[in-house]
Structure 1
Amino acid sequence: MPNTGNPTIPNMYSTPCCLRLRAISVAPFTLPILPPVVVVLDILGQRVLQPGSGNAPARLSGHAGSVMLPRRRRQGIAMTVNAEAIRSENDKKLSEALLNDPLVKKVNEQIAKAEEENPYTLRRRLLSTSVRLSPRMAPGLHKMAAECVEKLALDTPLELYAFPSPQYNAMCFKPEEGRLFVMFASSLLEGFDEGELRFVVGHELGHHAYRHHDVPIGYILRGNTRPDPRLALSLFTWSRYAEISADRAGAHCAHDLESVSRALFKLASGLSGSTIEFNLQDFLDQVDDMQVLDHKPGEGAPKEDWFSTHPFSPLRVKALVLFNESEFAGGKASQAELESGVRELMGLMEPSYLEGRTNAAEAMRRLLFAAAVLVANADGEMSEQEAEIFERFFGPGAVQEDWNIGAIEESLDDRMEQVSKLATEAQQIQILRDLCLVARAEGHTTPEERAVLKRLARGMGLGDSVVEQTLSASVELD
């Protein structure tokens, strides 16, 4: 259960930070030393800096993400719409709701207070630990950044920086003193051509244009005040739609799908193209081998695809296909058709079974309820804190004193069998992830709780390792 204390804001004084891409097995590299309350949005998803202890490095954690482009190529499309018009509707709606949430407001107040006590520290540290790219040093980069600023109707002055790294990446920091800071890995600047860089710059500026920094997802999910399960799930969902918006901003700035597709290939593969001949069709054929129903987590598809706070690659591909077919990119589909198609795609990752009226949704709710009761009573009884968390998830009055735990346990196999018959693997994994969020709502899980979760995973044919991965992912958010 969340405690009633103030959220903890990480202290980053004199602490080096590393970026770890869990989808790629490489050693972490060192980023410039950064100040407190730094929220970073990068091309691979949102990151939040975790505090280190003593001289140990803090980690900049997150999930690697890749985006691929549609089969149909339209070069040089003149997209005249503004940035706000192409923003994902669900990103907008969920962001508005989250910013009105009491815990989100509380965390933002804590961040604002920390910034008042330690103003203007980010730029000072960037200047001392990385290389600022002046217009004379990087005229081409500044020119394309200015063009992206114009396309996205921004009015915040930019400062561009470079840091040494073999990993392709770029990131955008929350503005300070009226300036917006964008950083690029040295490998990305040297390995990407102008059109590819334009997409990257547009993606980063899109995060700023849509004020994604205003929702401090990492602080909320790592702080002492734990969010209730519904808020945690909303944060997961919003984060995915925020990436959809940033992808659209990048495509809007690039308006050259051939260049964008090459950029996404490089981000996904780490290859520069000097030794490999890129083929868009072959690259897109990979999507067919990454479909949700063709893989079980841990056997083929990367686990990060299932538990990332941004959409896994096939969904982002298909979302960009829909965008490319829409009126925003010269296609015929209306905005309503675009958003409806995207919601349908995202439903594979975030099934709305709690409110659904289908047989599958009903079976999923029955299993979720029974399994949550068993998790909460795994150590012999449901504590007061667990009862509060349970009712936050299932509604007031959901807790009963006369539950027949034995009967509920006996019914679990039948409930799992029904879900296995009626629900997709993605939906089954969603149930497991929801239960893991409930289990972690108090900040930890017990061996007994993990045993219930693993029984559920085995019953649906998912395997024990999925439980450990899900529990780990629930506290290692972008």
Structure 2
Amino acid sequence: MKYVSTTLEALQEEHQNALNDAQSEMMAVLGEAQNSGDFSKMQEISESFQKTSMLLMEAFEDRIKELTAIPEELPMEKYYGDNRTDIDLDALVYNGDRDYVLEFQKDELIQEVLKNIKENNPVFQTRRHLLKSSLRLTPTLAPVLYEIGNHCKNVLRLKADIEFFVYQSDLFNASCYPPDTNKLYIILSSGIIERFEKDELTFVIGHEIGHVLFEHFDYPVKHLLEVGKNELAPIHAMKLYAWNRNAEISADRAGLLCCQSFEAAGRTFFKLSSGVTSDTLAFKLNEYVQQFVDLEQVLSSTEHDPADWYTTHPFSPLRIKSLELFNKSETYKIFNPQVKAEITEDEMEAEIKRIMSLMEPEDIDNTSQDNEKLQRFMFLGGYMISKADGTIDESETHALSSIVSKEIFSKCMLTISGQTDEEIIQELNQLAKELDVVLSVMQKLNLLRDLSIISFSDGEITDSEVKVLYNLARILYINTEFIDKVLGDAQKV
């Protein structure tokens, strides 16, 4: 037996029809055996039906896996090319940056919007734009900048030259524009050039070069969301912004490679976040890094602001803490042998992942014994949200399949048809009581965020769907204002 349905909704119907046909056939033959008193035949028919049911279940689960299959990932060690540099970018990159890029490559909606952007927009002429909007700096005009540029080129083993531009602004800002084959373009504000020290500018310039090396221009987040506003869902926005934040961690590593001073990197973050560049404040690196502890407590509170999920940059204390970990890692020692490695790459990446998760609620451990209860709660909650407007369409079914594992999805799809709404609500209440003991506040927020995505999956949200979300928040002991914030921020995006 092999199912041929091309959608999850149609597959469920095909499977149910196949079970009904098998049952009807069994009952007809069983009736004949009962009439003749052939008990051995009746036993044979029963065993045959059980075997058929198992085969149908296997075929059903196999087809679910086919419909929701994720293509095999590209080998991690061969992902980044060497067209811009000879250093090992795969060793340097933050895993969270690369993993999102691999996910985006498999996302048909994101790729379709990217294709639309490329087909309907002329190629951006970086140098022409910069010459019209800013002042080009030559080695004669800005010898220090070009000295820094040459240093970064050597450290990062760049294959292209660097050209600098400046624009008038007291704000501290720098950016790297889309490069040409043989030239990188970095533009800085006059304020940052005048008020930052040489080693601080080296970190800034190295950071901007990092964005180029890791091809961060491939996913212009705001442009993607603008062009794809009718195709992309809030979950796409959250993932794109999360990737954008992770990309900053990779670029910071390139900056540290160039300045080779964690203290200088710390001063840079301090100036960028405080605006203070004079001796009015006495900069203490350890005290600045310690701010991460305070921020961690704030972000772990029940007052978590879901707007954090839609920001492009990590908060400075998170970045400096992540860079501190890189600074004492075996990974950094690959590029700077003079460093004393205190932690392994795996330890570093795991801790940075935890740190970055503070800007978006954490996930429950997939190996946890409570994980199945959590996913069951998510499916049943999502099902009730989808059903609230009277119908469950294909987009909502797909959304349900995206927030739980394939195994849990297939199990739930089989059992849900036999439950009444009252029975589902009772089960949700019981699951909420059991999960309340094991879930942190942040994990509950993450759960409600994912369920909120279901409400947007068909392109609109109804009052009845919001009502279900409110009820789910209440049984998890989360203020319903959080739901309002999530939905409000998602609608803005």
TM-score by structure 1 length? 0.70
- The answer on 1:254 being equivalent to 2:263 is no
Deviation at 1:131, TM superposition (A): 3.0
- Which of residues 125, 140, 164 in structure 1 aligns to 2:144? 140
Give 1:303-452 correspondences, 5 Å limit. Answer: 304-305=307-308, 308=311, 310-327=313-330, 328-329=332-333, 330-332=339-341, 333-346=343-356, 349=360, 351-353=362-364, 356-394=366-404, 395=406, 399=413, 400-401=416-417, 403-452=419-468
1:331 partner letter: K
Once the two structures are superposed, what CA deviation does each residue of 1:217-240 show, in whole Å capped at 9, x if it has no partner? 444444045347886665455444
- Structure number with higher helix proportion: 2
Secondary structure of the residue aligned to 2:435 is: helix
Residues of 2 paired with 1:256 and 1:141: CA distance?
18
Give the structure 2 partner of residue 106 of structure 1. Answer: 112
2:423 partner letter: A
Give the structure 2 partner of residue 288 of structure 1. Answer: 293
1:226 partner letter: E
Unaligned runs of 5+ in 1: 1-79
Deviation at 1:350, TM superposition (A): 6.0
2:381 partner letter: A
Instruction: Tell me if structure 2 keeps the 8 A contact 1:305–1:312.
Output: no
Secondary structure of the residue aligned to 1:452 is: helix
- The answer on 1:85 being equivalent to 2:88 is no
Give 1:119-158 correspondences, 5 Å limit. Answer: 119-158=123-162
Give 1:193-342 correspondences, 5 Å limit. Answer: 193-222=197-226, 223-224=228-229, 226-227=231-232, 235=240, 237-292=242-297, 295-296=300-301, 298=303, 304-305=307-308, 308=311, 310-327=313-330, 328-329=332-333, 330-332=339-341, 333-342=343-352
Residues of 1 paired with 2:354 and 2:479: CA distance?
27
Secondary structure of the residue aligned to 1:172 is: strand
Residues of 1 paired with 2:484 and 2:182: CA distance?
43
Residues of 2 paired with 1:171 and 1:179: CA distance?
15
Secondary structure of the residue aligned to 2:437 is: helix
1:324 partner letter: N
- Distance of aligned partners of 1:448 and 1:148 in 2 relative to their CA distance in 1, 3 Å threshold: farther
Deviation at 1:372, TM superposition (A): 1.5
- Distance of aligned partners of 1:443 and 1:370 in 2 relative to their CA distance in 1, 3 Å threshold: same
Instruction: Tell me if structure 1 keeps the 8 A contact 2:318–2:356.
Output: yes
Instruction: Tell me if structure 2 keeps the 8 A contact 1:308–1:473.
Output: no
Secondary structure of the residue aligned to 1:155 is: coil
Deviation at 1:297, TM superposition (A): 5.3
- Which of residues 452, 455, 471 in structure 1 aligns to 2:487? 471
Deviation at 1:290, TM superposition (A): 1.5
Residues of 2 paired with 1:472 and 1:185: CA distance?
34
1:153 partner letter: R
Instruction: Tell me if structure 2 keeps the 8 A contact 1:104–1:216.
Output: no
Instruction: Tell me if structure 2 keeps the 8 A contact 1:230–1:393.
Output: no
Once the two structures are superposed, what CA deviation does each residue of 1:424-469 show, in whole Å capped at 9, x if it has no partner? 2322222222223333334443333333334444554543443343
- Distance of aligned partners of 1:442 and 1:346 in 2 relative to their CA distance in 1, 3 Å threshold: same
The structure with more radius of gyration: 2
Deviation at 1:120, TM superposition (A): 4.4
2:133 partner letter: T
Residues of 1 paired with 2:385 and 2:462: CA distance?
10
Unaligned runs of 5+ in 2: 1-85, 334-338
Residues of 2 paired with 1:177 and 1:443: CA distance?
41
Instruction: Tell me if structure 2 keeps the 8 A contact 1:419–1:428.
Output: no
Give the structure 2 partner of residue 453 of structure 1. Answer: 469
- Distance of aligned partners of 1:344 and 1:289 in 2 relative to their CA distance in 1, 3 Å threshold: closer
Once the two structures are superposed, what CA deviation does each residue of 1:208-256 show, in whole Å capped at 9, x if it has no partner? 1111222344444440453478866654554443222112111111111
2:340 partner letter: G
Deviation at 1:310, TM superposition (A): 4.9
Counting matched residue pairs gives 393
Instruction: Tell me if structure 2 keeps the 8 A contact 1:367–1:416.
Output: yes
Deviation at 1:358, TM superposition (A): 0.8
Residues of 2 paired with 1:337 and 1:180: CA distance?
34
Secondary structure of the residue aligned to 1:379 is: coil
Give the structure 1 partner of residue 65 of structure 2. Answer: none
Give the structure 2 partner of residue 21 of structure 1. Answer: none
More displaced 10-residue stretch of structure 1: 139-148 or 94-103: 94-103
- Which of residues 178, 188, 204 in structure 1 aligns to 2:192? 188
Residues of 2 paired with 1:459 and 1:269: CA distance?
42
Residues of 1 paired with 2:278 and 2:382: CA distance?
49
Instruction: Tell me if structure 2 keeps the 8 A contact 1:82–1:152.
Output: no
Give the structure 2 partner of residue 11 of structure 1. Answer: none
Residues of 1 paired with 2:213 and 2:133: CA distance?
26
- Distance of aligned partners of 1:124 and 1:276 in 2 relative to their CA distance in 1, 3 Å threshold: same
Residues of 1 paired with 2:182 and 2:462: CA distance?
47
- Structure number with higher strand proportion: 1
% same residue: 30
2:212 partner letter: H
